[in-house]
Structure 1
Amino acid sequence: MSTQRSFAETLVAVAWSFAGLRRKRDFDRDVGALNPLYVLAAGVLGCALFVGVLLAAVRFATA
């Protein structure tokens, strides 16, 4: 039986998934333990951070 993961653990899992470096063993362990609302919030936060980094890089390159 797996326990519920914290928001910080969910952020780490989503960050590794964004990078495409998630091990199958970790994925299998997290499937039933991640809170879907935490995953959604982490995904939105990750996307916003990614877009922000891209915008900053474009501003830096064109300045």
Structure 2
Amino acid sequence: MSRPGEDLKKAVRRKASFGQTLSAVAWSFFGVRRGKDHENDMAKLNPVHVIIAGVIGAALFVLMLVLLVRWVIGSGVAAG
């Protein structure tokens, strides 16, 4: 039986690059992923990298929405 925390330590040592993690997180934001690729990601991705990439992705998404709204309001398209 493994000690608590050993599984987490093993997961943090996974070898996927941060670029691979960004790609997996981008696909998850899009909402389309093949089952085989998902299983492969679960076996290789570092959970710390996934959390960091998710926060970065969410921040970029919010920033893009804010910029889009500011552009629409500034262009006068929103004025009825």
Whether the TM-score (by the shorter chain) exceeds 0.5 is: yes
Gaps of 5+ in 2: 1-13, 75-80
Does residue 8 of the first structure (1) align with residue 15 of the second (2)?
A: no
Which letter maps to 2:44? A
Over the aligned positions, Cα root-mean-square deviation in angstroms equals 1.0
Structure with the greater relative contact order (CA < 8 A, sep ≥ 6): 1 or 2?
1
Write the mapping of 1:1-63 to structure 2, written as runs, cut at 5 A: 4-63=15-74
Say how many residue pairs are matched: 61
Q: Which runs of 4+ in 1 moved over 6 A?
A: none
TM-score scaled by structure 1?
0.92
Distance in 1 (alpha carbons) for counterparts of 2:67 and 2:51: 24
- Shift, 1:32, TM fit: 1.7
- Give the TM-score normalised by the residue count of structure 2: 0.73
Higher-Rg member (1/2): 2
Percent identical pairs in the alignment equals 49
